[in-house]
Amino acid sequence: MRKLLSLLLLGASLGSMAQTEQPTVKANYNLAAKFSPSKLRTMIFTTEVKPNWINHSDRFWYEYQTSTGKKWYVVDPLAKSRYVLFDNADMAAQVTRIVKNPFDAQHLAVENLKFTDDEKHVRFEVRSTKDTVKSKDELAKLKNKADSIKKKTYFLEYTIATKQLREIADTLKEKDKPYWASVSPDTNKVFFAKNYNIYWMDRANLEKAIKDDKDSTIVEHQVTKDGMQYYAWGGDQYSVTTGNDKDEDESKKRQPVRLSWSPDGKYFALTRKDNRHLNPLWVINNVGQKRPTLETYKYLVPGETDSTEAELYIFNAANFNAKQVSIGAFKNQTVAIYGKDQDKSSYKGKHFISYWLGDNQEFYVTRGSRDLKRIDIVAVSINGDVRTVVEERSNVYQDIKKPYFVNNESQFIHWSQRDGWGHFYLYSKEGKLVRQLTNGEFNCEAITGYDKATQQFTFTANAKELNEDPYYLHHYSLSINGGQPKLLNKGNFDHQVEVSESGKYFVNNYSRVNTAPKSDLYSASGQLIMKLEEADLSQLFAAGYKFPEPFKVKAGDGITDLYGVMYKPFDFDSTRVYPIVEYVYPGPQTEAVNKSFGRSMDRIDRLAQMGFVVITVGNRGGHPSRSKWYHTYGYGNLRDYGLEDKKVAAEQLANRYSFLDVNRVGITGHSGGGFMSTAAMLVYPDFFKVAVSGAGNHENNIYNRWWSERHHGVVEKVSAKGDTTFSYQIDKNTELAKNLKGKLLIATGDIDNNVHPANSIRMVDALIKANKRFDFLLLPGQRHAFGNMTEYFFWKMADYFSEHLLGDSKYNDVDMTEINRETPLKR
């Protein structure tokens, strides 16, 4: 009897479970394939208005594409008018008659459109299918003479008044200045680097170089004579990879040199550093050439000795006499020259001049200690005198922005986080604090303009508006005499602004992750001038797209608000239970949480279509647009600082939503996200079950010094004798390899010269020595972003999560049919 009762109770229990058990989710390869990058290009068109200001005026033109084709518009803010630049159908007919290739109103292939100086004409290019012989300069660069034929590009001019189009000679086309040419303010000399030294040529020889860069009659004049590789005056950035698959005479080619000019053109300044002692790194490209090629590049990793200091020089432009400025204050300091903001005065004719920030008597530089706890803004006179204008001091690393001069250069606006938030401060030119301009628990970003007449400046800031996501950016105005900021672009959206050179108008592009992007035109006072565009997402929605959902949770401390976005499958069924996959990037310079609508969906939206709920969420120690406390939370603990918040965010969402399975949590990310996803598997091995880690910096002691020492910290030690040394210690993923319990896929490109493949290989080595089963993917010939193998990597990731979180995948199928369907068959 007791046995029978037990059986009846067991049956009732199983029946109850059967009634409440929610169905599992199958891997949906077809739905994910519908939103591949190539498919999205046919469903998402223009999402923002990018104004092209006409000849430095407030008038601008822009192009905007929808599912009906592309149109070109001209906007006159003062007249409050917007009109099409030309009738597409008429233009298509005229182009067809000239080019002899058929075009219609919806398929106009106009490139490199520019207004002429008189604004009576626009010029542009149209490519044809007609064969033509390459130019003399192009032929000279050919290694294979069989490649002497190209498709002809027509150079066309449209007269706005008569609406007539004509072909014009290539000789009328504005020739691009060579990338290596730095023009003097009087435009009579052009400077460049060659053989690691500074050279110049006159305008006549520049014209020769534009026509034929290898013209043997070009006359060059050498300025410096002591430059050498890795201790160069220009053309030798040690972080740029060089290898034996490139020309051996690379140093003999003209290269750029970064000169900062005085307004009167009598002096220029530049910095120089001896990098000869820096140790190199290497990568081997096994698939690039007939033989595998070795690439060698200088790469400074954290904790290494840096025995030379940045040097600052001032040159007399008349006789090229150089003066080295004594600017040393800190051991292994960084020095950078501030440049003037680009405006109409930066151009002499068509030539852009790189002016220093300052006047004819002095200019401004920033000087920072190696640990970035001490940063100065320094004024340097043309005779070499140095005066410290502003000092910033902190117990953690700091950020700095360029000073913005106002009141006829007698004062400047300085940005600082000295009270824990990014705010503006007004200083006299001599370095005396006049007043704090903004204050409160919000973050100021960039100054966008200044009106001399009203003494109002405009700037962007976030976290000021109540009941909004604190990351949403807005535009404000404020008097330098004090007061409260005025909001110029209301609306609970993330706003990105493009301000005219005069500062009188701005284009406001705004959206959220769950709204279609819109673009409006405003005056500097915040008056709406006109609505411009709303993005056409009709094709995207027709394919089944649904907006993701923003959310807010608490951090591991139960106090700090974290903001995230949830991406569901477009065939979402609330009666089913979905695994969670977290897409992560720990920062600290940013967070992998979208705030506005974007077209880059392949690693988040598309992954969700496989049958997961994908979440992105911030973490303490992340984005710098929060408080300084939030941003530097991970200082001294750059491995584990963000992991708790990723874990508790998933737990809170699973408690909130019954369709989330907290027992099936995956995690993935690239670069810093690759590092973080592996770390999560090792620090919380019972919570995170599956990870796909791309190009991760698993050992930050061999990642670049700037990022690692800045965000983790480096200890400066001064001996009793006054000698300064630096030490660096950081926890590494490899130290926790023994903790792995779940499924881990590590991927890297084999010629990644950003996060060196050694990071992944050392992680593999540690896992093998810990006797762990895992998976490793090496992508041949790929750099940090995986290049043309990005799509392959996506489907490997999709397979991996589907196999180990859903128990249903094409993991054992040989062909990736999802890629093959998108790739044209080559015969």
- The pair of structure tokens assigned to 94 is 């005229």
C-alpha 326: how far from chain center:
34
Task: Categorize the per-residue pLDDT at 785 as very low, low, confident or very high, splitting at 50, 70 and 90.
Answer: very high
Mean pLDDT, residues 750-754 taken together: 96
Give the β-pairing of 518-523 and 69-76: unpaired
β-partners of residue 260 are: 269
Q: Which CATH number is correct for 176-393, 3.40.50.2000, 3.60.20.10, 2.140.10.30, 3.40.50.720?
A: 2.140.10.30
Alpha-carbon distance 250 to 143, whole Å?
A: 16
Alpha-carbon distance 367 to 381, whole Å?
A: 15
Query: Which strands, in side-by-side order, build the sheet including 322-325?
Result: 260-261, 267-272, 311-316, 322-325
Question: Which residue, among 430, 436, 382, has the nearest Cα to 413 in the 3D structure?
Answer: 436
Q: What pLDDT score does 4 carry?
A: 45
Q: What pLDDT score does 17 carry?
A: 37
Query: For residue 21, is pLDDT > 80?
Result: no
Question: Which residue, among 635, 630, 629, has the nearest Cα to 371 in the 3D structure?
Answer: 635
Residues whose CB falls within 8 Å of the CB of residue 269, separated by 6 or more in sequence, listed in order: 259, 260, 312, 313, 314, 315, 337, 356, 363, 380
Q: Which CATH number is correct for 546-820, 3.20.20.80, 3.30.465.10, 3.40.50.1820, 3.40.50.10800?
A: 3.40.50.1820
Q: What pLDDT score does 772 carry?
A: 98
CATH fold for the domain made of 406-535: Methylamine Dehydrogenase; Chain H (2.130.10)
pTM over 0.85, yes/no? yes
Q: What pLDDT score does 23 carry?
A: 65
Query: For residue 636, is pLDDT > 60?
Result: yes
Report whether 592 contacts 673 (CB < 8 A).
yes
Mean pLDDT, residues 566-593 taken together: 94
Task: Categorize the per-residue pLDDT at 13 as very low, low, confident or very high, splitting at 50, 70 and 90.
Answer: very low
Report whether 404 contacts 412 (CB < 8 A).
yes
Alpha-carbon distance 761 to 680, whole Å?
A: 18
Query: For residue 139, is pLDDT > 90?
Result: no
- The pair of structure tokens assigned to 562 is 């974290």
CB-based burial, 418-438: b 16+ in 10 Å, e otherwise: eeebbbbbbbebebeebeebb
ω into residue 263 within 30 of 0, thus cis?
A: no
Mean pLDDT, residues 432-458 taken together: 97
Mean pLDDT, residues 545-568 taken together: 97
CA-to-CA separations, 680 to 653, 671, 733, 820, in angstroms, rounded: 18, 14, 9, 34
Question: What is the CA angle 492-497-500, rounded to 5?
Answer: 145
Instruction: Tell me how far apart the terminal alpha carbons of the chain are, to the nearest angstrom.
Output: 77
Q: What pLDDT score does 232 carry?
A: 93
Could you read off the pLDDT of 243-256 as tens digits, one per residue?
Answer: 544 445 677 889 99
β-partners of residue 531 are: 520
Query: For residue 237, is pLDDT > 90?
Result: no
Using DSSP's 3-state secondary structure scheme, residue 6 falls into: helix
Number of helical H runs and strand E runs in the chain: 15, 47
Lowest mean pLDDT among 93-97, 131-135, 633-637, 685-689: 131-135
Could you read off the pLDDT of 347-405 as tens digits, one per residue?
Answer: 888 889 999 999 999 999 999 999 999 999 999 999 999 999 999 999 999 999 999 99
Domain positions in the chain: 86-172, 176-393, 406-535, 546-820
Half-sphere exposure of 222 (CA within 13 A, CB side): 9
Query: Which strands, in side-by-side order, build the sheet including 433-436?
Result: 404-406, 411-416, 423-428, 433-436
Q: What pLDDT score does 136 carry?
A: 64
Report the amino acid identity of residue 227. Answer: G
Helix, strand, coil shares of the chain, percent, nearest 5, are 20, 35, 45
Report whether 529 contacts 505 (CB < 8 A).
yes
Question: Which residue, among 303, 258, 214, has the nearest Cα to 703 in the 3D structure?
Answer: 303
Helices marked H in 192-251: 203-211
Could you read off the pLDDT of 417-428 as tens digits, one per residue?
Answer: 999 999 999 999
Task: Categorize the per-residue pLDDT at 516 as very low, low, confident or very high, splitting at 50, 70 and 90.
Answer: very high
Could you read off the pLDDT of 260-316 as tens digits, one per residue?
Answer: 999 999 999 999 999 888 889 999 999 988 999 999 988 889 998 877 789 999 999
Alpha-carbon distance 666 to 584, whole Å?
A: 11
Alpha-carbon distance 392 to 374, whole Å?
A: 6
Q: What pLDDT score does 143 carry?
A: 62
Alpha-carbon distance 618 to 633, whole Å?
A: 12
Question: Which residue, among 733, 732, 744, 737, has the nearest Cα to 769 in the 3D structure?
Answer: 737
Cα dihedral across residues 678, 684, 685, 686: positive or negative: negative
Q: SS3 string of 428-451?
A: ECCCCEEEECCCCCCEEEEEEEEE
Question: Where do we find the tokens 């976290």?
Answer: 463
Report whether 524 contacts 497 (CB < 8 A).
no
Q: What pLDDT score does 822 carry?
A: 82
Using DSSP's 3-state secondary structure scheme, residue 549 falls into: strand
Alpha-carbon distance 611 to 604, whole Å?
A: 12
Residues whose CB falls within 8 Å of the CB of residue 185, separated by 6 or more in sequence, listed in order: 261, 263, 264, 265, 348, 353, 355
Lowest mean pLDDT among 650-659, 724-733, 757-766: 724-733
